[in-house]
Structure 1
Amino acid sequence: MKRNKSMIWAFTIPGTILFLGVFIYPIIRTVIMSFFKIVEITDPISKWEFRGLGNYADLFNAPLFIQSLINIAKIWTIGGIVTLSISLLLAIILTSGIRGKGFFQAAIYLPNVISAVAMATMWIQYAFNSSYGFFTTFFRIIGLESLAKIQWLDAEHKFFALLFSYCFGMIGHHMLIWISGIERISKEYYEASGIDGANKFQQFFHITLPLLRGILRTNIIMWSISIAGFFIWSQLFSPLTADTSTVVPMVYMYTKVFGAETADIISRDAGAGAAIGIILCAFVIIIFRVANKVLKDDDLEF
């Protein structure tokens, strides 16, 4: 027994120390930093200036940060509805017994394999370019000159260009999650309902959707996590300064920590950057708790 306990301690202690050092310590330090003014992220604790909730108050009084929250809320809501709906539709089509399922599944998932930088660059240079981009050329060929003349990367259209391109890349990821849930549903349910006279739409709304409640919860949480860390796409669509049409909290946090030449963000403040990280973390936790509360599947059986 003593020997077994020694072996248990020998295997668990290194992992526990690693977990505390890599995950728990940075979290605690970030929470503490959010209550201080810290000019440089590498400044020693002796240079930290205590501000209490001042960082949070300043953030919610900053117009650009408020705009970043509005943008991220629009991405989460509009993008989430579009991405999860289309990915669910594609998952249903691919699990309906069509030929070439593997090919279509791989083709739809392909954008997730490509680097986000490469994908964003492709959209900016070859899809939204007003001179030779795909949309401009396509609309010109079919005679829709009014659409061909749209400047997709101007202040008026840039946000929706960003949202469209990001959603396009995320559909494949969420489609695979839907497929994993659909393939768990027993075919006997559909056979029995078919005998009772249920059509495909009735089967979808009364069998498929209820039994995918847990998968919907997973997709919502995964979508929320990816949106909380939204950075590369926004930065590439507005590479020079934080653009009000595409700025998100992660970009604002980056400019706060490392500085930027804008009227809204003048000095560096790693403490304010830490506060933004805590706000984003709280956002994900709230979504997680609400999703678990609303989308319960304890009463469902497969």
Structure 2
Amino acid sequence: MLQRKYAGYLYVLPGFLLILLFIYFPIVQNIQFSLFEWSAFSADKTFVGLAQYAKLFHDPIFYQALVNNIYYAVISLIFQVFGGLVLAAVLEDKVFRKISPLFRTIYFTPVIISITVIALLFDFIYHPQVGLLNGFLSAIGLESWTRAWVGDSATAIFAAIAVSQWQSIGYIMMLFIVAIQKIPQELYEAAEIDGASKIRMFFHVTVPQVREMTFVTSTITLAGAFTVFNEVYILTGGGPGHASEVLGTYLYQSAFVHDQMGYASTIANVILAITLLISLVQMKLSKTGEE
């Protein structure tokens, strides 16, 4: 009897130990590291308490990076989450159902391509002299709009954000397709009998029925927006100046360029706190997450 009582815990124990070892222990250790000033090339650590946090919250580059991450988050919610939901609803409509598999493949293909390859591709597209974007603008008579997209401080961060939207919208779309397929068809039939248009059915049937998936996709998108690194690092390196700096690239620069490991740990803890807070606020405001 006693063996049966504790058998379930033994099955859970390996997974629990892995989570403890590779997630919670590093989090605790990183908090400890942020209380010291230290170098990766020295065993000496100087205890500074919360001085690193005080320095961070008076650092103008940190605020520039935070603003850029907020741009990332807001634009990603609009284009990835809402845009992905619209695409999913269109492809699941009975009018487009026959050609839906083809377009699902087209939209999902960028998801399976390495983000490094995609960033290098867009680096060519954005090239000021031979880039496809400037070439297209010149061809349609909008030569005044051409510019060095990743070399201009006004457009660098938005050029990087555009890459993320193109690469990730297919993944969010597929998650919404799964959710839409679970909606009872009777709801759409009843709305159609009542004379509801496609747009009204979208907002009054589809959107409420996929609320749980909206919570999941929003959480994934926001977490990704505050931990983004590859696109920005490959395209702009955080430049020009610090115009396209995000928290991920600033952490990297602090740790591996300036060898300020304690400061980098502090940035990592702030990123963790922001993503955790966003998730908690979403759960509280939307009253979702139960499923």
Find 2:271's aligned residue among 267, 270, 280.
280
Query: One-letter code of the match for 2:210?
Result: L
Partner of 1:184: 182
Look up the match of 2:202.
Answer: 204
- Residue 19 (structure 1) aligns with: 19
Number of residue-to-residue matches in the alignment: 288
Q: Which residue of 1 aligns with 2:81?
A: 84
Cα offset for 1:151?
2.2
Shift in Å, 1:199: 1.8
| Distance in 1 separating the partners of 2:19 and 2:202 | 43
Residues in 2 aligned to 1:299 and 1:194: alpha-carbon distance in whole angstroms: 30
Q: Is the 8 A contact 2:215 2:289 kept in 1?
A: no
Question: Is 2:71 the counterpart of 1:74?
Answer: yes
Deviation (angstroms), 1:297: 4.8
Quote how far apart the aligned CAs of 1:79 are. 2.9
Greater alpha carbon shift after TM alignment, 137-146 vs 57-66: 137-146
Q: Which of 95, 119, 122 pairs up with 2:92?
A: 95
Contact 1:34 1:274 in 2 (8 A): yes
- State the SS of the aligned residue for 2:183: coil
- CA distance in 1 between counterparts of 2:7 and 2:208 reads 46
How far does the alpha carbon of each residue in 1:193-216 deviate from its partner, in whole angstroms, 9 at most, with x for none? 221222222212211111222111
Aligned residue identity for 2:114: S
Do the aligned partners of 1:237 and 1:246 also contact (CA within 8 Å) in 2? no
Distance change >3 Å, CA 297–CA 247, structure 1 → 2: closer
Contact 2:84 2:173 in 1 (8 A): yes
Deviation of 1:153 after TM superposition, in Å, equals: 2.2
Give the deviation of 1:34 after TM superposition.
1.4
- Percent identity reads 26
Q: Which amino acid aligns with 2:20?
A: L
Structure 2 gaps of 5+ residues are none
Contact 1:91–1:176 (8 Å) recurs in 2: yes
Aligned partner of 2:192 in structure 1 is 194
Distance in 1 of aligned mates of 2:20 and 2:289: 33
Measure, in 1, the Cα distance between the counterparts of 2:142 and 2:32: 56
Kept in 1, the 8 Å contact 2:84–2:172? The answer is yes
- Stretch of structure 1 that moved more, 197-206 or 276-285: 197-206
Among residues 169, 182, 186, which one is paired with 2:167 in the alignment?
A: 169
**Is the contact between residue 77 and residue 221 of structure 2 (CA under 8 Å) also seen in structure 1?**
yes
Instruction: Give the equivalent residue in structure 2 for 1:264.
Output: none
**Deviation at residue 123 of structure 1 after TM alignment:** 0.4
List structure 1 segments (4+ residues) > 6 angstroms apart after TM superposition: none
Alignment-mate amino acid for residue 288 of structure 1: S
Deviations 1:199-249 (A, max 9, x none): 222212211111222111111100012122211111112248674121111
What displacement does 1:5 show? 5.6
Distance across 2 between alignment mates of 1:299 and 1:29: 31
Equivalent position of 1:265 in the other structure: none
Which residue number corresponds to residue 113 of structure 2? 114
Amino acid in structure 1 at the alignment position of 2:287: K
| 1:129 equivalent in structure 2 | 127
Matching residue of 1:225: 223
Match of 2:34 in 1: 34
Q: Offset of 1:71 from its aligned partner?
A: 0.7
d(CA) in 2 for partners of 1:133, 1:242: 19
Letter in 1 for 2:27: I
For the residue of structure 2 that corresponds to 1:246, the secondary structure is coil
Q: Superposed, which structure 2 residues align to 1:148-163 within 5 Å?
A: 149-155=146-152, 156-163=154-161
Mark the runs of 5 or more structure 1 residues left unpaired by the alignment: 261-267
Aligned mates of 1:211, 1:16 — CA distance in 2 = 33
Instruction: Report the TM-score, using the length of structure 2 for normalisation.
Output: 0.91
Aligned to 2:248: 250
TM-score (norm 1): 0.87
DSSP-derived class of the 1:80 partner: helix
